Structure 1
């Protein structure tokens, strides 16, 4: 006999776990299914931990500002030290192209309440001591952004979801069938069990296309791989996430910060994208990113790298998430395609998803939902992905 729930949530990662937590807090009986052995063992564990509301589109700004509230107050409210570090995000500028781009985003960012300004070169140097001053024009700085530990956060969110008494997690299970009755979802069958519910949430990330294919839906999520790395711990000397938007051969932007333990954590955006699900590390990544980092912040030249890794970004054609009800399959709700930003979007989006399920959507929620619609025109790209 099938187990009965209000909601079946597929995926216990950066979006799935905080969504389960939010649903549980509203008393929604929720079943979470994940093919891994524990929460956050898919792409969440590859996140580097950056959390910013510094985006160029309203939906991401709104969702991430709420996420920052949750991350920054978590220890005070719930007692878990998730290693939140309020260091801000710094976008240093060396070319007029980036200056024009970043200044152009300021009106929309400020309109939606983001604490951000364009600052001069001296201020940039104060935020990032030792930064290369040659050609430095200034930059944007958003001091309320920060970072936390994806591993510790995921465990804290998982425990909180379970503690609501309304959420059950089922690990080492893969959804094999999605059942429908008169066009509406009514349950799933995994490799182990059947679960019934009138709502199914797709939080499957890079594997959403496979999930959608079970109900003849082609969800435009295409995984590509990005590499990250971490150094040995060194004495803390900067807190901000440094994001250099200048392109270089083989890559676009790159970014790095120093976490609460003194580790330098870094990542780069390959160009062209490395499409597919291959997560083996490459020999190109470290020399490529290290040269760029040392050029920007020469003090890093003697820091030793501890390890590197490679994870998947569930990408959409325009670089923005997909959030909303499927119009062809009643009861199927998509929350996927976070394009590598699931960790920072997850808590804020999780609460919006919970309100979508309980039909309590706010006007701000509606802005996010409209922007991230599955049925939007995917031809427009976000300016600050």
Structure 2
């Protein structure tokens, strides 16, 4: 039996940054993961986009802090995580999307976003060759960007190790130990570890993990596919998000990474619920047709690889971060809805402050919005 202050279940997009932040303030932390190294779950399946451009004030605030960490990581810590400041662009062709985006601007600016609605001429300068027919304009946030999920999670792991965090890989959690309504540790296939706090950072697998403590957390995984092309000369710098629905999908998004490869993903409609990560024959022709329709010169690109990952979805599209209302000592950093990589560093710091009972005044907005005890609705965030 090994005693620590905090045990984190999961060494991915949420678990590693949380461990890094806890270690930085002297909390004795152990991270346990069934995989052989960090980020080997859905973190490595993220496409790498990083934005603070959200419609939820809590996610804007956390996203801004994450952007700050990603964008300054190399100069602060020396690791090249392939940060690239390209911005996020939401082009609109219908009054419906234009009205929704413009309605969000006052809130986004009030919480510190550098964002504006731009006209078609400005938009075509940012993405040359974009379909000009019926183009109304769009919102552009130039401070958003991208980075390598695997390089970033490994850099965060190295920093966490420097901060005194211990990692146990190739170790599966079999049970959460609960005594008199309080979590007291975990049991794995290799031993028992005791701690007054256990952090659920299990993402798509949070629900089965928490059921081992007799509680239900409303996290439902659904599958999304992504792909990457060969590298080509720079065509555009930003993430392009087309909010228009299409056959079998709500929206799609793509960007050109630091190596010149175009990386892309689609949001299925209806959702493909479950943890199946096998690629399909449907995804590539579906998304390629939409991308080429928007930017015709993409048609010559050759796709190198397709993959599939899981989004841990909450009922309202917002993260679930905070103390479990039923089991004392069980803390959740989950339900990131496919945004765990981009929100991870800022969310890890927020979680660490909450765990040691030292939240800032600004944290209160996010704490309330992300609370596991909140009343969940079926209304999703507008930019999800």
TM range (shorter): over 0.9
**1:43 & 1:118 partners in 2: Cα distance?**
33
Task: Give the equivalent residue in structure 2 for 1:177.
Answer: 175
1:239 paired with 2:237, answer: yes
Q: 129-138 or 110-119: which moved more? A: 129-138
Deviation at 1:173, TM superposition (A): 1.1
**2:73 & 2:274 partners in 1: Cα distance?**
35
1:191 paired with 2:189, answer: yes
1:325 paired with 2:317, answer: no
What is the CA deviation profile of residues 14-50 of structure 1, one whole-angstrom value per residue up to 9, with x for unaligned ones? Answer: 0000111111111111000011111000000000000
Task: Give the equivalent residue in structure 2 for 1:230.
Answer: 228
Task: Give the equivalent residue in structure 1 for 2:158.
Answer: 159
Deviation at 1:181, TM superposition (A): 2.9
Deviation at 1:363, TM superposition (A): 1.6
What is the CA deviation profile of residues 319-377 of structure 1, one whole-angstrom value per residue up to 9, with x for unaligned ones? Answer: 11101101211110011010000001100000011111111101211211110111222
Number of equivalences:
383
Q: 238-247 or 363-372: which moved more? A: 363-372
Q: 1:255 aligns with which of 253, 256, 259?
A: 253
**2:325 & 2:98 partners in 1: Cα distance?**
41
Task: Give the equivalent residue in structure 2 for 1:27.
Answer: 26
Task: Give the equivalent residue in structure 2 for 1:134.
Answer: 133
Q: Specify the SS of the correspondent of 1:363.
A: coil
**2:316 & 2:357 partners in 1: Cα distance?**
28
What is the CA deviation profile of residues 245-300 of structure 1, one whole-angstrom value per residue up to 9, with x for unaligned ones? Answer: 00011001100000000000000000000011111101010000001001111111
Deviation at 1:89, TM superposition (A): 0.2
**1:287 & 1:196 partners in 2: Cα distance?**
50
Q: Specify the SS of the correspondent of 2:231.
A: coil
Task: Give the equivalent residue in structure 1 for 2:144.
Answer: 145
Task: Give the equivalent residue in structure 2 for 1:310.
Answer: 308
**1:237 & 1:16 partners in 2: Cα distance?**
35
What is the CA deviation profile of residues 213-262 of structure 1, one whole-angstrom value per residue up to 9, with x for unaligned ones? Answer: 11111110010000000000001121100000000110011000000000
**2:211 & 2:180 partners in 1: Cα distance?**
18
Deviation at 1:378, TM superposition (A): 1.5
Q: Specify the SS of the correspondent of 2:312.
A: strand
Q: 358-367 or 246-255: which moved more? A: 358-367
Gaps in structure 1 of 5+ consecutive residues: none
Deviation at 1:174, TM superposition (A): 1.3
1:257-276 matched pairs, under 5 angstroms: 257-276=255-274
The CA RMSD over aligned residues, in Å, is: 0.8
**1:168 & 1:116 partners in 2: Cα distance?**
40
Deviation at 1:139, TM superposition (A): 0.4
Structure-2-length-normalised TM-score: 0.99
**1:267 & 1:293 partners in 2: Cα distance?**
10
Task: Give the equivalent residue in structure 1 for 2:77.
Answer: 78
Q: Specify the SS of the correspondent of 2:304.
A: strand
Contact 2:200 2:334 in 1 (8 A): yes
Q: Specify the SS of the correspondent of 1:346.
A: helix
Contact 2:2 2:192 in 1 (8 A): yes
Gaps in structure 2 of 5+ consecutive residues: none
What is the CA deviation profile of residues 86-145 of structure 1, one whole-angstrom value per residue up to 9, with x for unaligned ones? Answer: 000000011101100100110110010000000000111011111111111100000000
**1:231 & 1:327 partners in 2: Cα distance?**
45
**1:375 & 1:253 partners in 2: Cα distance?**
30
Deviation at 1:186, TM superposition (A): 1.1
What is the CA deviation profile of residues 164-216 of structure 1, one whole-angstrom value per residue up to 9, with x for unaligned ones? Answer: 1x200001111112112332211111011111110000000011111111111
Q: 1:366 aligns with which of 360, 364, 367?
A: 364
Task: Give the equivalent residue in structure 1 for 2:375.
Answer: 377
Contact 2:7 2:30 in 1 (8 A): yes
Contact 2:325 2:372 in 1 (8 A): no
**2:180 & 2:269 partners in 1: Cα distance?**
45
Task: Give the equivalent residue in structure 2 for 1:9.
Answer: 8
Deviation at 1:381, TM superposition (A): 2.1
**1:71 & 1:10 partners in 2: Cα distance?**
23
